[in-house]
Amino acid sequence: MNHSTPSSRVDATGDFLQGLTKFRKFGKKTRVKSINGITYFANQFWTPRQRQGHRLQEVSYRGCFKPQLPAFFIERLTRPGDVVYDPFMGRGTTPVEAALKGRIPYGNDINPLSRALTEPRIHPPTLAQIEVRLAEIPWDEFVDIEHEELLAFYHPVTLSRLEGLRTWLLSRIDAGLDDPVDRWIRMVAVTRLTGHSARFFSGYTLPPNQATTLDGQRKINARKNLTPPEKDVRAILEWKSKKFLSQGAPKPDDALLLTGAAEKTLQIPDAAVTLTVTSPPFLDVVNYESDNWLRCWFLGIDPKTVNISQYRGIKEWQPFIKKTLAELARVTRPGGHVAFEVGEVKYGKIRLEEHVVAATEGLPFATLGVMIVRHEFTKTSQCWGIANNSGGTNSNRVVLLQKKG
């Protein structure tokens, strides 16, 4: 691995903070304010446009941040060959962006769905390999339907093809034949299971990052007087593969993707990571199990066996964050950084960033500040408060830490 000396990282931090205060690229000069002993930097630090990222990043997943967020920190706080990590990688935004920018991607998530979404986009096959494999799949033999309840989402022919593809892919895993091409096809299929356009396997339904329940889909069908149309599964897989690969693919020197608890990542060596960019579960804002039940079904994952962390209150959440930060202190090199995105929750009543800072007590981290990234606010005062939003996560609030050393 190509690592620069820790001292060069420490020296670069002052330049980074000075750069924040002078930032003008997408808006006015950064506003700086101290609140409860924490320095806040408020500006539009990256573009809010939806299509600015690489097409490999076009995977829908609830509670994820845009690739512009990790790109901002990767470009300014790391060099090619450095390790960039996310202990809650979700759809894999940080590791994929790291790979695209010539860094070594590390990632972890307790849900095996995350690795299934991430790994194929870091090590993708060629389009020619994908087309050959799609031609080898015995589509005409897929005629039976086992899960008739899923006809709420799919045309009978479409469902028979999907069930056949699912069984075929799982059987290849059992036989030890699973390879990067299979994993790619499985990943693309998972991203196309449900949506509200012709390029998804389903009929009209909720956006792809939030699968509705069976009863919910039946209500949608009844309300709109719809029956799911037949879709060409193979054609959609080929079309989306071309879209994903249309801007090229990463070629990382190495990668490490784990499936487990964020506070216990023994496979990562001490002081190996230069930068962590992550966003932990936000209390009980997002139910990852219910959102991804259909994706987990296709992958053969029982979501009830995945112990996804969800906390209803700060008293439970902060110790969880403390354990995560303790592990990040172990794996982060001296002078390395952690960008910890916490957003806004509970109808803007809780400053999660203050609890993250409190969780660093006793750990070898210095708090450099909190970046508030709000793309639309009409009054300067609005960017400092958190009670002006209707609820949910409405802006990026990123706690920036540096490992002492």
Q: Write the pLDDT tens digit of every residue in 316-352.
A: 889 999 999 999 999 999 999 999 999 765 545 678 8
Q: Please indicate whether residue 305 or residue 100 has the higher confidence score (pLDDT).
A: 100
Domains of the chain: 6-110+253-292+304-403 (3.40.50.150), 127-244 (no CATH)
Long-range contacts, 311-320 (Cβ 8 Å, 24+): 311/281, 311/283, 311/284, 312/283, 312/284, 313/283, 314/283, 314/350, 314/355, 317/283, 317/355, 318/355, 318/358, 318/359, 320/263, 320/280
- Check residue 50 and give its pLDDT: 55
pLDDT-based confidence at 315, cuts 50/70/90?
confident
Identity (one letter) of the amino acid at 152? A
Residue whose pair of structure tokens reads 């996310």 in the numeric block: 86
Q: Write the pLDDT tens digit of every residue in 56-79.
A: 999 988 767 899 999 999 999 999
Q: Cβ(252)–Cβ(105) under 8 Å?
A: yes
Instruction: State both tokens at 187.
Output: 């990943």
Mean pLDDT of the region 262-266: 96
Highest mean pLDDT among 10-14, 48-52, 264-268: 264-268
- Check residue 404 and give its pLDDT: 95
Strands 332-341, 396-403: pairing kind: antiparallel
Partner residues linked to 278 by β-bridges: 340
pLDDT-based confidence at 2, cuts 50/70/90?
very low
Mean pLDDT of the region 302-310: 74
Mean pLDDT of the region 107-135: 96
- Check residue 160 and give its pLDDT: 98
Q: Please indicate whether residue 252 or residue 255 has the higher confidence score (pLDDT).
A: 255
- Check residue 343 and give its pLDDT: 73
Q: Write the pLDDT tens digit of every residue in 16-44.
A: 999 999 998 877 789 999 999 999 999 98
Identity (one letter) of the amino acid at 223? R
Q: Mean pLDDT of all residues in the chain?
A: 88
- Check residue 389 and give its pLDDT: 42
Percent share of the chain, pLDDT over 90:
72
Partner residues linked to 341 by β-bridges: 398
Q: Please indicate whether residue 9 or residue 127 has the higher confidence score (pLDDT).
A: 127
Secondary structure in 3-state letters for the chain: CCCCCHHHHHHHHHHHHHHHHCCCCCCCCCEEEEECCEEEEEECCCCCCCCCCCHHHCCCCCCCCCCHHHHHHHHHHCCCCCEEEECCCCCCHHHHHHHHCCCEEEEEECCHHHHHHHHHHHCCCCHHHHHHHHHHCCHHHCCCCCCHHHHHCCCHHHHHHHHHHHHHHHHHHHCCCCCHHHHHHHHHHHHCCCECCCCCCCCECCCCCCCCCHHHHHHHHHHHCCCCCCCCHHHHHHHHHHHHCCCCCCCCCCCEEEECCCCCCCCCCCCCEEEEEECCCCCCCCCHHHHCHHHHHHHCCCHHHCCCCCCCCHHHHHHHHHHHHHHHHHHEEEEEEEEEECCCEHHHCECHHHHHHHHCCCCCEEEEEEEEECCCCCCHHHHCCCCCCCCCCCCEEEEEEEECC
pLDDT-based confidence at 120, cuts 50/70/90?
very high
Highest mean pLDDT among 9-13, 277-281, 371-375: 277-281
Strands 104-109, 273-278: pairing kind: unpaired
Maximum alpha-carbon separation in the chain: 66
- Check residue 295 and give its pLDDT: 94
pLDDT-based confidence at 53, cuts 50/70/90?
confident
